[in-house]
Amino acid sequence: MKALIIVDVQNDFLPGGTLAVPAGDEVIAEINRRSSGFDLVVATQDWHPANHGSFASAHSDGKLFELGELDGLPQMLWPDHCVQGSYGAALAEALDQKPIAAIFHKGMDARVDSYSGFFDNGRKHKTGLEDYLKGMGVARMAVCGLAADYCVFYTARDALELGFKVEIILDATRAIDNDQWKTIQREFKQSGGKLI
């Protein structure tokens, strides 16, 4: 079984959103075109409470896009984004949602961020995605969506570590920081991941 994991294709990560990924909207057509080629399609959704600790607004001395700290872990401080139930948190309207069999939410605990679709950044809690995929007999997956250098990469890296064969679809992802994304691509290949 080969799965497609669609990561965080949500309004806030698209142009006009509060944490817009440059050209993030370009992934949608690529994903729609490919999703019928997989045995199973699942999506993740960044799903923060309004006071989430990854928001710069939750830190009196925190500056946007700088590293702060959250519960003992280094934490990039983001603009408010993907607040549960908001328009920004909704999946993009243009994304074809019919093939999506299940949606996994992450980032609900205000005290820890969650870039990966599998665990929070402190690796304390699972989202259920691993057990779901293994229960469905999935051994291979392709990962796509937003943002390449954060949630797509962390999801793909954890999937490798959990024993899946993993590829990232380059045409179907976009990065917040393209220099960082280049470095990450090398690291991902070295750990046994594929870029297609």
Q: How far apart are CA 60 and CA 13, in angstroms?
A: 25
Cα distances from 134 to residues 28, 46, 104, 137, in angstroms, run: 26, 22, 15, 5
Binding to ligand VGL, residues 47-66 (CB under 6 A) = none
124 a catalytic residue: no
Q: What is the DSSP letter of 12?
A: G
DSSP E strands, 37-154: 40-46, 67-70, 73-76, 100-106, 140-146
**Catalytically annotated residue among 25, 80, 82, 106:** 106
Position among 146, 156, 169, 175 found at the interface with ligand VGL (CB under 6 A) = 146
Q: Token pair for residue 52?
A: 């989430």
Q: How far apart are CA 135 and CA 163, in angstroms?
A: 14
Specify the 3-state DSSP secondary structure of 5: strand
Residue 151 site contact among Zn ion, ligand VGL, none (CB < 5 to 8 Å, cut-off depends on kind): ligand VGL
**76/136 with CB nearer ligand VGL:** 76
Q: How far is the CB of 146 from ligand VGL (least distance, A)?
A: 5
Q: How far apart are CA 178 and CA 192, in angstroms?
A: 21
Position among 25, 46, 120, 149 found at the interface with Zn ion (CB under 5 A) = 46
Number of residues engaging ligand VGL in binding (CB under 6 A) = 8
Q: Are strands 40-46 and 100-106 parallel, antiparallel or unpaired?
A: parallel
Interaction of residue 8 with ligand VGL, rule CB under 6 A = yes
Position among 40, 77, 147, 169 found at the interface with ligand VGL (CB under 6 A) = 147
Q: From its phi and psi, is residue 169 left (phi > 0), alpha (psi between -120 and 50) or beta?
A: beta
189 a catalytic residue: no
Q: Segment near ligand VGL (CB under 6 A), from 85-93, 129-137, 142-150, 188-196?
A: 142-150
Interaction of residue 92 with ligand VGL, rule CB under 6 A = no
**46/130 with CB nearer Zn ion:** 46
Question: What does the binding site for ligand VGL look like in residue numbers (CB under 6 A)?
Answer: 8, 13, 46, 78, 146-147, 150-151
Question: What does the binding site for Zn ion look like in residue numbers (CB under 5 A)?
Answer: 46
